[in-house]
Amino acid sequence: MQQPATNRQFVLESRPTGMPTEANFKLVETPIPALNEGEFLARALYLSVDPYMRGRISGMKSYAAPVEIGQVMVGGGVAEVVESKNAQFAPGDVVGIYMGWQEYAISKGAGVRKIDPSVAPVSTAEGVLGMTGLTAYFGLLDVCNPKAGETVVVSGAAGAVGSIVGQIAKIKGCRTVGIAGGDDKTAWICNDCGFDAAFNYKTTDNYSAKLKELCPNGIDIYFDNVGGPITDAVFGQLNVGARISICGQISQYNATKMETGPRLLGALIVARAKVQGFLVSDYAAKFGPALQEMGGWVHAGKIKYREDIVNGFENMPKAFIGLFGGENTGKRLVKVH
């Protein structure tokens, strides 16, 4: 394949105030430079949009440097090597690569992993067998140490991470209760993903009463993707020794000033509970065996996954923004080529 002459990229045009808009991103065309020795050129197949990206464009201190104005948006993708001056990557190889919001990327291979298309659809490398699946895996198993018979509550339960958390919890013998924003979503996680119960927070007035009904033995583990009033309600029903994994707080990401809520730390004393924030990247050394185990579960049908595919590179901003309206069920990806 001949090297294309131009690349398309989304750069950060301005920082959002509150909910991001398409105007915060600018589509630019840039020339693709010739490869140097040791480099390869990758063409995006699927690019990932994820809630964490909101933090990267806020300009506030976080666990990673923010994207600066004019820089290409960051993010993971699944790509095909189309040209190579690197002996370890040949044209035709499919790779998982943190390439950002662009159609083409040049890499020396650092942090790039090869994907075997015979194992599973390559798109899964940015989902159940990639970052979001690993987030579910370590955030539940390592942070919360679930034991058979315990009750696990998951918020954002129909999302890329939450839907997998609930299924791993089931594999571990737990009672699993999901909270999601739509009857289609709760139906999917109960009927297809095997959650024991779920409720649609958008049509539920009293989260506490609903949790009491669905968790008659209290809550041993809470995997939190959303924060806010849903999390407030869970904190009121923790069993002694409860573990809470703080994975995301999507309800707060677009707040223009720090939202307030009830002061909850006292509940942790009563329950002798642990709340732990985590980042999947801290578990990088253990990704290999984790992916092997996850792959086994997927092949055995013990873990179902859903992909929410948006077509066309030009739709990256729209696909990203839609995450905050809860548009997606399962892992949202943009199909680029």
Residue 23 CA to chain centroid, in angstroms? 24
In the complex with its own copies, the residue whose CB is nearer, 17 or 276, is: 276
For residues 161 and 335, give the distance between their C-alpha atoms in angstroms, rounded to a whole number: 20
- Does position 256 interact with its own copies (CB under 8 A)? The reply is no
What is the separation of C-alpha 69 from the centre of its chain, rounded to a whole number of angstroms? 24
Does position 246 bind its own copies by CB under 8 A? Answer: yes
148 sits near its own copies (criterion: CB under 8 A): no
Cα–Cα distance for residue pair 93/80, rounded to 1 Å = 6
Closest to its own copies by CB, 26 vs 274, is 274
Contact status: 299 vs its own copies (CB under 8 A): no
User: How many residues bind to its own copies according to rule CB under 8 A?
Assistant: 35
Helix (H, G, I), strand (E, B) or coil at 84: strand
Q: Which of 75, 100, 133, 248 binds its own copies (CB under 8 A)?
A: 248
Give the CA distances from residue 219 to residues 137, 166, 215, 216, in Å, rounded to whole numbers and listed in that order. Answer: 19, 14, 7, 9
Q: Per CB under 8 A, does 49 bind its own copies?
A: no
Instruction: Kindly indicate which of the ranges 19-27, 34-42, 198-206, 267-275 contains the residues binding its own copies, using the contact rule CB under 8 A.
Output: 267-275
Which of 5, 87, 148, 269 is close enough to bind its own copies by CB under 8 A? 269
Question: Between 58 and 77, how does the x/- string for binding to its own copies read (CB under 8 A)?
Answer: ---xxx--------------
List, in sequence order, every beta strand (DSSP E) within 149-211: 151-155, 175-180, 197-200
Angle, vertex CA 57, rays to CA 51 and CA 58, nearest 5:
100
Short-list 94, 100, 89, CA closest to 120: 94
Q: With binding defined as CB under 8 A, does residue 278 bind its own copies?
A: yes
Nearest-angstrom CA–CA distance, 273 and 277: 13
Among 149, 240, 299, 314, binds its own copies (CB under 8 A): 240
Beta partners for 230? none
Range 191-230, binding its own copies (CB under 8 A): 224, 227-228
Residue 261 contacts its own copies per CB under 8 A: yes
Say whether residue 276 binds its own copies (CB under 8 A).
Answer: yes
Q: Residues in the site for its own copies, rule: CB under 8 A?
A: 61-63, 224, 227-228, 231, 240, 246-249, 252, 258-263, 265-279, 282
